[in-house]
Each structure stands twice: as structure tokens, then as C-alpha cells.
Amino acid sequence: MIFSYTRYLAITAVASFVLTGCEVKTPEQIALMDNLELCQLHSSAEGNSPYLAELVKRGALTNQELEDISSETIRTGMKTYVAVCSWGPYESINSSGGIYGDTEQIVISLSQYIYTENGRVTQWQQ
């Protein structure tokens, strides 16, 4: 019986480790992340996110942006990382550059895309 319980605990621990993203970030690691990475991790987190707290601490979000994130709203002109906080996490980002600047297609899922130019949302598809 003890062996079975020990095995159960080991399997549960491994499953928890895999399902929670493999690693908990320390405050020091979080402080070194850029805003987009923080929003990607915030979108995957449950409950009070230390990643969103770091963005607030940095002054990287306005009150309107916090409301948009809370209500999962996207707006034209919104910063790329705020859109990811609101709709993410993303699966991939397709980037291209041209004479008018950088454009990105942020793939959230098979049916959700965010399009940006020079770090600002221009359109989206849901």
C-alpha cells in the first residue's frame, strides 16, 4: 500500500509540473523579462498573475489597458503586448519588415489573429 501511494504522489507531482508550465519564475527572473514575454505568461497564468503585477509596477499599463485586459478587449492602436495580455497566449508570431516598418501577424489560435504595424494593433480576426 505504501508503494502505491508513493507512486501516486510521484505521478501527481510530475503531472503538476508538466501542466503548470514546467517552471515557476522567480521575482528576479520576472523583472528581467520584456513586456511581451510577461503578457504571454500572464495569459497562461490563473488567478493573480505576478506577470501583470510586474507590468503595473513598471508603469507599462494605463488604467484603460488594465480594463481592456480584464474584459479581453482588443482596440485599434493598442500596443502589441497589451493585445497579447488581453487575448493571448499566442501560438506564433509571423513578422516581416518593409520600407514602412514592421508588421506582425500574431496567431492566437486557428481562428484568432492580431495584426500589428510598428508595435500597434491595426486589425484582428476572431
Per-residue pLDDT tens digits of the chain, which is 126 residues long: 444 544 544 454 444 444 445 567 999 999 999 999 999 999 998 877 999 999 999 999 999 999 999 999 999 999 999 999 999 999 999 999 988 899 999 999 999 999 999 999 999 999
Q: Residue 4: what pLDDT?
A: 52
The pLDDT score that the predictor gives to residue 100 is 86
Neighbours of 36 (CB within 10 A): 20
pLDDT of residue 47: 76
Domain locations in the chain? 25-125
pLDDT at 98: 87
pLDDT score recorded for residue 77: 98
Tell me which residue of 90, 59, 58, 91 sits closest to 74, measured CA to CA.
90
pLDDT at 16: 42
pTM beyond 0.95: the answer is no
The pLDDT of residue 22 is: 52
- The torsion angle over the Cα atoms of residues 37, 41, 47 and 53, rounded to 10 degrees, is -20
Name the residue among 32, 39, 33 with its Cα closest to residue 78.
Answer: 39
Residue 78: name the closest of 67, 89, 90 by CA.
67
Domain 25-125, CATH number (from 1.10.287, 3.30.519, 3.90.320, 3.30.1450): 3.30.1450
41, with CB counted inside 10 A (0-12, 13-18, 19+), is: buried
- Rounded CA-CA distance 72/86 in Å is 5
